[in-house]
Amino acid sequence: MKKLFLTGISLLFAVTLTFAQSNPEEATKQEVTELTEKLTLTEDQQKTIFDIVLEGTKAKEAVKADATLSPEVLAESLNKLQATTDAQVAEKLSDEQKPLFEKIISERPKETTPTPIQTPAQPVQPQQPGQPMQPQQPMNQ
């Protein structure tokens, strides 16, 4: 009975993880919906911009999956991909929509290099004159 219960829970976790992974089409659909609301895109614009943003999202996912890139190169690559995608989207917009799109782009945060987490240094206790040095205790005790 325990094995059956544990197997069922394991299966539930596996299914949950499968659905938890990001879907580029869903993210793209959400982004195009926001652009449609803010820029009042036409049906044709929605279709072409969806394709452009989807390709950009897939390219970003591919760059993020490359573990050999340093954080600086990763951020730079993501910013270049975003700039390319933005330029392609801007080409499909009307003259009235372009200033609004520029405002949206300027408000969007850029990819930054993640800062490493610094651990605080261990304080060093000053030694009193005339006292013998005491050995340091290992951390694993």
pLDDT in tens, 94-136: 999 999 999 999 988 776 655 555 555 555 555 566 666 555 5
Domain assignment present for residue 36? The answer is: yes
Q: Tell me, yes or no, whether 97 lies in a domain.
A: yes
Residue 120 lies in a domain: no
Q: How many domains in the chain?
A: 1
- Crossing angle of helices 97-107 and 71-91, rounded to 10°: 170
Say how many CA atoms lie within 13 Å of 22 toward its Cβ: 13
Residue, of 40 and 7, whose pLDDT is higher: 40
Do the domain assignments include residue 138?
no
Is 66 a domain residue? Answer: yes
Range(s) of the domain holding residue 63: 21-107
Q: What is the DSSP string of 14-42?
A: HHHHHHHS--HHHHHHHHHHHHHHHH---
**Assigned domain for 137 exists:** no
Look up residue 38 and give its two tokens. 């803010």
